Structure 1
């Protein structure tokens, strides 16, 4: 089971709380842009003829403008699904609607366009200034309200898998000295370089490796210890702006253990980092924890680890 949450709310709850008025304005903007773009592509001379402007020699250029406007329309429709998450699309649209009138004024002063051509500015640009600015302000207020006291907007990742062994056995596996090294996916260029050999509070783990060409060092401190139910670690330094990982070992009452990893994290660079790389981080977490859970299940249920443990305790 995989869940993605922010500030304790599920994605669906977050989406439901995006304001309806913002969604309506963005739907309207998307449909308008698609219609305007289609008109420019189908009849590139129509607007020039209606406003008394001279037809351009290469109508294909105006048709390309129509295609760009249509792409903006698609962007607005995407943003309408969740204006808080997709605020950068709204920002880019607003900038275009500000620079467009400026460019028209320059052309008007040079005598390039007739004044009547400026009527298009009303519906193409000026009409959207206030609602787009209101959408951006609302998104900014939302992020300020949902950020943690440190100012970092955090997300949550949860992975749960049933292990056919008791919580005590699964917990003891995680306490074994080589457990963490075995759970590092083979495609990750990272190695365990320091471990206290304990999960108790204040014990430290250091991992080193690289992310692409960038070397990284990940230092985590164990903070919670309640065998055989829970242990947790907090990133002291590393690639994330924040990382807190709880390992829970639930008892299903039938001799099995739902192994549940709960991670609260924040990517670096704030909103920009979430926008550019948040999706990649989620994909890497999904792949990493899928491997960890399958490896844990395989080692324990095949009795490979329990046999080795029994031999070492004789």
Structure 2
């Protein structure tokens, strides 16, 4: 389930997915930054360019190259700003295509060895009116496509 809302010039995208794996296994997968490449659509050319440690930690800087439009790649730098083991972590853009990017990753232990994973992404587009027009034309669709791809990929990894 993907929802997108706008408030005070900021867009918020939320998703939820139940994974048929225990919390510990889900946490191990998602708190390892190198797994992000595996759940991002290949057409985006998403590549981590920095050395990443096995697990996310507060203050960790991660650099990427990502295709924002066909034939156009940009650098993206995020910082892991908060981590609570097996509960949540937050990454925030330091440099990149957005004016602001704040991504909360939440994990909840469910009965029968399952995990509820929630994402909340709050972002602001640069370039004022033109940015909002770009949101309408393609940014919203691109983000939904990324998270739909991720949902399908995670279903295959954890739920089949």
Normalising by the smaller structure, the TM-score range is 0.7 to 0.9
1:228–1:286 distance in 2 versus 1, CA, 3 Å: same
Deviation at 1:163, TM superposition (A): 0.7
Residue in structure 2 matched with residue 250 of structure 1 by the alignment:
108
2:145 is paired with a residue whose SS is helix
Write the distance in 1 (CA, Å) between the matches of 2:114 and 2:147.
Answer: 19
Write the distance in 2 (CA, Å) between the matches of 1:247 and 1:273.
Answer: 26
Residue in structure 1 matched with residue 13 of structure 2 by the alignment:
157
Alpha carbons 1:246, 1:261 under 8 Å: kept: yes
The structure whose Rg is larger is 1
Alpha carbons 2:102, 2:121 under 8 Å: kept: yes
| Residue 91 of structure 2 corresponds to residue 233 of structure 1 | yes
Residue in structure 2 matched with residue 220 of structure 1 by the alignment:
78
1:178 is paired with a residue whose SS is helix
TM-score by length of 2: 0.88
1:176–1:273 distance in 2 versus 1, CA, 3 Å: closer
1:267–1:278 distance in 2 versus 1, CA, 3 Å: farther
Deviation at 1:277, TM superposition (A): 3.3
1:196 is paired with a residue whose SS is coil
Residue in structure 2 matched with residue 283 of structure 1 by the alignment:
141
Alpha carbons 2:18, 2:117 under 8 Å: kept: yes
Write the distance in 2 (CA, Å) between the matches of 1:177 and 1:242.
Answer: 20
Q: Aligned match of 2:56 in 199, 204, 224? A: 199
Alpha carbons 2:32, 2:56 under 8 Å: kept: no
Alpha carbons 1:195, 1:204 under 8 Å: kept: no
Residue in structure 2 matched with residue 101 of structure 1 by the alignment:
none
Write the distance in 2 (CA, Å) between the matches of 1:2 and 1:209.
Answer: 22
| Residue 43 of structure 2 corresponds to residue 181 of structure 1 | no
Write the distance in 1 (CA, Å) between the matches of 2:61 and 2:38.
Answer: 18
| Residue 26 of structure 2 corresponds to residue 170 of structure 1 | yes
Write the distance in 2 (CA, Å) between the matches of 1:168 and 1:238.
Answer: 31
Residue in structure 2 matched with residue 5 of structure 1 by the alignment:
5
Dislocated runs of 4+, deviation >4 Å:
none
1:228–1:297 distance in 2 versus 1, CA, 3 Å: farther
Cα-to-partner distance string for 1:8-62 (whole Å, 9 max, x where unaligned): xxxxxxxxxxxxxxxxxxxxxxxxxxxxxxxxxxxxxxxxxxxxxxxxxxxxxxx
1:187 is paired with a residue whose SS is helix
Cα-to-partner distance string for 1:177-207 (whole Å, 9 max, x where unaligned): 6312212211212211114323111101111
Count of residues paired in the alignment: 158
Task: From the two aligned structures, give the one with the greater helix fraction.
Answer: 1
Alpha carbons 2:99, 2:125 under 8 Å: kept: yes
Q: CA RMSD in A?
A: 1.8
TM-score by length of 1: 0.47
